[in-house]
Amino acid sequence: MKIVRTDRELELPMVDQVLRDQGHELVLLPETVSEEALCKAVETCDILLMCYTTIGAEVIKAAKQLKAIIKYGVGIDAIDIPAANKKGIVVVNIPEYAEETVAEGAFAMLLALAKKMPAIQNKMSKSSWAWPTQHWMSQDIAGKTLGIIGCGRIGKSMARMAGLGLRAKVIGYDPYKSEEHLAENGIVKIESLQSLLEQSDFISLHAVLNNETMHIIGKPELAMLKKSAIIINSARGALIDEEALLESLMNGQIGGAGLDVFSKEPLNHSTHPLRKLYELENVILFPHLTFYTQEAMDRLERETLERCVEVMQDRPVLIKSKDPRLQNQKHLKTILEV
């Protein structure tokens, strides 16, 4: 088969080697590939592996024999799923490979910001020492309130780490989860976003990005937060109105932010609209890498190959995601994980 993999910057040595060893034609394309070049590459492609690259209607239209689009990752917003399904193309992702991993990354950012570790480390690097003045006063997590927006697998892992690990009170906003379900995971369900924001000392976002959650944290929501509040986002950049967040941070309206994801990636120091974040000592900027551990990548590669084999052997493709956009592909050759 001919297999095209975009986003070659994200190395998948096991996937690439196995596919080549099996005799398949593997075409690797950069994240910066143009739509025109991508259309040409997929014209005779059987399987398209992608991570960040946009797979729009024109790309799908150009694919004459494409059987499946496999997202080697979680988010599927970059794929025109209706267009794919209309042509009989299955879309599948790898949703479970980094649940604990991303939660650990989010928790690490929270802990580091609460203890002012980036700022103190910067002071140590420049001045060799920092005396215990009010400027360096940090805060405990024990006894404080962590508000989680989006209480799926990663959100629940975050809740466990903060609640059982550091004795924080954990509250959650998720209209699609019952009070009983959240309680089983140590989370107190809060019915309104405003109430959660007003109560929380720390906020961690773990929601899916869709029309309902786009800019779920905007200027009005930021104004509801405590001045000492810290926001962590390891989910999707557009969950937050990032320019409003930057303004709040620069004005001292909130206590800090840990960001692993951005609406426009990658960041840069010269032209990016969020470049002033680099100047702030109460911000952690991570390059969309909370998922990137040896263990998580091993799981990702193995599951990606499993989905490839299913397509190659003309077997039903296993859908593990609970996202309705993927679950609703029942008219195609898929099987849903129970």
Catalytic position from the list 206, 236, 242, 303: 236
Q: Compute the distance between CA of residue 139 and CA of residue 215 in angstroms, rounded to an integer.
A: 28
Catalytic position from the list 265, 279, 295, 306: 265
Q: Compute the distance between CA of residue 119 and CA of residue 214 in angstroms, rounded to an integer.
A: 31
Contacts of 122 (CB under 8 A, 6+ apart): 281
Cα dist from 145 to 110, 252, 291, 333, whole Å: 12, 20, 25, 45
Helices (H), 135-207: 153-160, 166, 179-184, 193-199
Q: Is 236 a catalytic residue?
A: yes
Q: Is 180 a catalytic residue?
A: no
* Residue 180 burial by Cβ neighbours in a 10 Å radius (0-12, 13-18, 19+): exposed
**Is 229 in contact with 200 (CB distance < 8 Å)?**
yes
Question: Where does the chain show beta strands of DSSP type E?
Answer: 2-5, 25-28, 47-50, 68-71, 90-93, 145-149, 169-173, 188-189, 202-205, 230-233, 256-259, 283-285, 317-319, 334-336
Q: Compute the distance between CA of residue 17 and CA of residue 231 in angstroms, rounded to an integer.
A: 40
Q: Compute the distance between CA of residue 63 and CA of residue 67 in angstroms, rounded to an integer.
A: 9
Q: Compute the distance between CA of residue 309 and CA of residue 276 in angstroms, rounded to an integer.
A: 46
Q: Compute the distance between CA of residue 301 and CA of residue 319 in angstroms, rounded to an integer.
A: 16
- Collapsing DSSP states into helix, strand and coil, what is residue 230? strand
Q: Compute the distance between CA of residue 97 and CA of residue 81 in angstroms, rounded to an integer.
A: 22
Catalytic position from the list 215, 288, 299, 325: 288
Q: Compute the distance between CA of residue 63 and CA of residue 80 in angstroms, rounded to an integer.
A: 13
Catalytic residue IDs: 236, 265, 288
